[in-house]
Structure 1
């Protein structure tokens, strides 16, 4: 079918996708995660068809919740497996919360006497990865799905190279006894959740001076060419010369009263007056 690294599922639609067609044991997709019951004596798991290739590829998954011990006496398992046609021959990262261990396994006949075992820590081992590159199989863990720590490296088993379009992914849980609970897996071959956007509210109160960063502005030279037609209304101003000619008769009006009937009276000078000719 394809390299196993090309298959992705973030489990956000709450529907078990068709690529997990071999799933079993009452698994469900709930709350955006692959939920796998951990029931006494009952295996349950998400499982693809044996249509994929691990050689030259990688498979990783987030483990938000490993199945808790809940009264199991020996095993409460949560496992990430790469399986193939021969039963019992598979690669695994196996967590047992009863023993508090995480094991990195190359199983043949369901066992690996050389498995690397560490103390399980849900934060340190929050992401699990199995990959094949350069003639080696590597088992890795991560706190964030971005920075990985190698936990085991082994020369690639022949079946990994030979199993072209013949391996499957299995996400499994099982317990030997105790109370039923479940394991949850998320973000298979995708770290989408680590890039989530979170919206938060806050009440802000502040007195102070506000400063702003300057944004440089560049002024670029450009040669602009344009053709256009301009229309404008025109106001005309004219200075006109004119020659004026006029004939006029000027007249003056005098007192129309007749003055030829006036009689001057000449009398004797009175004292205190200075007499001048013609009265002398």
Structure 2
């Protein structure tokens, strides 16, 4: 059973995905949204196949842009519908900017005389939801896609329970006359555009230098007695560097002159000398 709550689309790839294969009337995906032209006398819509189940599930969507009235005299319509096999029998949240209303509808033969109608506010009604639980059907709105306000509730119509894998989601726009504009939907069954990429800046500082201090260790003596135990602490050895100087050699050198090249001269004694043999 394909619960309608499992259908999720952010519309961020600007391509109409295969889940919306029944789209019509010039529907396109652009700027990260599903865009529907609102043309006089023409319906346009994003639409899935009738392959989903609403019972016990919910569907919600963001509405950033409802089609403005632009000179329409009866209706400029933006609608969120849950449809099934019987034409004209469907659930809707319908905004008409000509009348300035938002209606919460359980249509049979395209009408609901008991619909709840409020004054439309683009901020208050920025998100739209239709859900079913425990035999009750609810229409809700939200400003942010997180906190919801219930606008209408009824006993679940029989067709909602019996239509297993047989309902479709339809996002629709239409005007009776006036100037063409468009409606835009976003974030189907997701409160955020999860595909968005954000670039952040950071200021980085260089790593600091970590200086390791030496921890001295002392080896102490201990006097042990028999039966006592001594736990050995881990001693960390540090390998230190040292600057070494080369050994210096001292060579001794004599100052004595060689004597083997001396010539002896013998001459007559001079006055003032003391003369001994053989000169006497």
Give TM-score scaled by structure 2 length.
Answer: 0.70
Return the alpha-carbon distance in structure 1 between the equivalents of residues 19 and 3 of structure 2. Answer: 14
Return the alpha-carbon distance in structure 2 between the equivalents of residues 10 and 190 of structure 1. Answer: 7
Query: Mean alpha-carbon deviation: is it higher for 1-10 or for 187-196?
Result: 187-196
Superposed CA RMSD in Å reads 2.3
Alignment-derived partner of residue 129 in structure 1: 129
Unmatched tracts of structure 2, length 5 or more: 202-233, 240-280
What pairs up with 1:198-277 in 2 under 5 angstroms?
Answer: none
In the TM superposition, what is the alpha-carbon distance from 1:192 to its structure 2 partner? 1.4
The structure with the larger Rg is 1
Deviations 1:27-69 (A, max 9, x none): 1000000000000000000000000000000000000000000
Asked if the contact 1:60–1:129 (Cα under 8 Å) also holds between the matched residues in 2, the reply is yes
In the TM superposition, what is the alpha-carbon distance from 1:193 to its structure 2 partner? 3.4
Alignment-derived partner of residue 35 in structure 2: 35
What pairs up with 1:135-146 in 2 under 5 angstroms?
Answer: 135-146=135-146
Give TM-score scaled by structure 1 length.
Answer: 0.70
Return the alpha-carbon distance in structure 2 between the equivalents of residues 100 and 200 of structure 1. Answer: 41
Return the alpha-carbon distance in structure 2 between the equivalents of residues 48 and 146 of structure 1. Answer: 25
Moved over 4 A (4+): 194-201, 230-233
Alignment-derived partner of residue 160 in structure 2: 160
Return the alpha-carbon distance in structure 1 between the equivalents of residues 139 and 195 of structure 2. Answer: 24
In the TM superposition, what is the alpha-carbon distance from 1:196 to its structure 2 partner? 6.8
Return the alpha-carbon distance in structure 2 between the equivalents of residues 122 and 198 of structure 1. Answer: 27
Deviations 1:122-177 (A, max 9, x none): 00000000000010100000000000000000000000000000000000000000
Asked if the contact 1:11–1:29 (Cα under 8 Å) also holds between the matched residues in 2, the reply is yes
Asked if the contact 1:144–1:194 (Cα under 8 Å) also holds between the matched residues in 2, the reply is no
Asked if the contact 1:37–1:181 (Cα under 8 Å) also holds between the matched residues in 2, the reply is yes
Q: Does 1:99 align with 2:99?
A: yes
